[in-house]
Amino acid sequence: MKIAFMGIRGIPASYSGFETFVEQLSKRLVKRGHDVTVYNRSTFVIYKGSSYFGVKLKRLPTLPTKHLDSIAHTLLSCFHALFQRYDIAYICGVGNAPLAFLLRLRKTRIILNVDGADWQRDKWGKFARAYLRVCEFIATKSPHIIIADSKVIEKRYRELFGMETLFIPYGANVKHHEGSDVLERFNLESRRYILFVGRMVPENSAHTLIEAFSMVETDLKLVIVGDAPYSDEYKESLKAMSGGRVVFTGYLFGEEYQEISSNAYLYVLASGVDGTRPVLLDQMAFGNAVLVRNTPANMEVIGDAGTIFKTDNDVEDLALKLQYYSDHPEAVIALRAAAEERVKQKYSWKRVTDRYELLYQALLDGRSVGDIAVELEREIPLEPKLSEEALPGGESTLTEVLKNEY
């Protein structure tokens, strides 16, 4: 099949979840013999090669502003795609939903991944939020299939619009690494720091974590990995509220990201925007204990293999959990084993790629969303159970006790 991905900044991945998802899926599709193109933003992706692990890369310009960057580039991508005779066009981001109509002119089958409730993000003003809400409705009309990466989003579209979406989660990159100088460079010791990974934007709530961490009595450090364009004021405010125990690394990718993740004591996901986060799956795959905000999507991902802090009084509750886990390394060790086993069983990229390959063929055959969903679940079910032998010493029970008690 001839497949195109658009609506992202590009690959190699160097920004957020969509980029990581497209990179991992597109490389695997190429290995299976498909012709795959990814549209890159020339102003963002440093890599200038015409291909990456066999994936064709098309660099197009954009308008590098917060509000027009994505839609301007996706518009140009759609115009280019009109002349390429793609079988499948996979568009990322609900804000690009109106552009899907263009590709239907060539009878290309369109898939739209709407991600989470994008309009909830703090970075958007009133007009942008209103536009994104309208795009949610347009998304029910413009593509052939809507992808929901969590059951939460699947439920939202069903209840709000009576629209059936297709649930396919992200995969997890199960890969440990040792050997870079990243720990030495930032004066870190293995298993002696709490880790945050994410864009430096308000909705990811690094400020909540930093404030909570300041209340914890521990010799652990807090490491903030990430950066973001258009958010200099917010980044400066984070540094101003941080003490000497907080380390800001900026962006880390590849081996450095793998090593700093593989050596963390505990990973915290503080974001308040609901939706599946590939970084959470990554951290579980690295064998990290995970502590996440109690959003429905986060709880769906971790199951019994992680623990939560509450959105009500989030700073105080997060501080309480951080203090507990700082004082109880045995509980952290238990969570690590459960997390790694869960992603191996439920979130493998092979399983995700199998589902997409089946989806593409079914879509070209003209089958309905309902029929495709039934076939996917029959052929490639996504709900294998954790093996009991992978959770020594009753750690599943321990995790549940911790959730209830704290």
Task: Say how many C-beta atoms besides its own lie within 10 A of residue 2's C-beta.
Answer: 14
Mean pLDDT of 158-174: 88
The number of CA neighbours under 13 Å toward the Cβ of 215 is 16
pLDDT class of 153 with cuts at 50, 70, 90? confident
pLDDT class of 17 with cuts at 50, 70, 90? confident
Amino acid letter, 71: I
Higher per-residue pLDDT: 120 or 342: 342
pLDDT of residue 273: 75
* Alpha helix positions (H), 215-272: 232-241, 254-262
Q: Reply yes or no on whether the pLDDT at 384 is more than 60.
A: no
CB 313 within 8 A of CB 290: no
pLDDT of residue 386: 38
In sequence order, what DSSP letters do the residues of 53-91 get, joined into one string? TTEEEEEE----STTTHHHHHHHHHHHHHTTTT-SEEEE
CB 382 within 8 A of CB 351: yes
Mean pLDDT of the chain: 88
State the DSSP H helix or E strand holding residue 290, giving kind and residue range, or none if neither: strand 290-293
pLDDT class of 397 with cuts at 50, 70, 90? very low
Q: How far is CA 3 from the centre of its chain?
A: 22
Domain segments of the chain as ranges: 2-167, 182-344+387-405
pLDDT class of 385 with cuts at 50, 70, 90? very low
* Alpha helix positions (H), 82-202: 100-103, 126-138, 151-161, 182-185
Measure the CA–CA gap between 189 and 198, rounded to whole angstroms: 21
Q: Reply yes or no on whether the pLDDT at 119 is more than 60.
A: no
Higher per-residue pLDDT: 296 or 81: 81
pLDDT class of 123 with cuts at 50, 70, 90? low
Spatial CB neighbours of 394, under 8 Å, sequence gap ≥ 6: none
pLDDT tens per residue, range 192-226: 999 999 989 898 999 999 999 999 999 999 999 99
pLDDT class of 177 with cuts at 50, 70, 90? low
CB 400 within 8 A of CB 334: no
pLDDT tens per residue, range 338-367: 998 898 888 888 989 999 999 999 999 999
Which fold would CATH assign to domain 182-344+387-405?
A: Rossmann fold (3.40.50)
**2-167 maps to which CATH number?**
3.40.50.2000
Name the token pair of 318.
């997060």
Peptide bond into 202 cis (omega under 30): no
Q: Is-same-fold flag (2-167; 182-344+387-405)?
A: yes
pLDDT class of 403 with cuts at 50, 70, 90? very low
pLDDT class of 124 with cuts at 50, 70, 90? low
**Sign of the C-alpha dihedral computed for residues 263, 303, 94 and 164 taken in this order:** positive
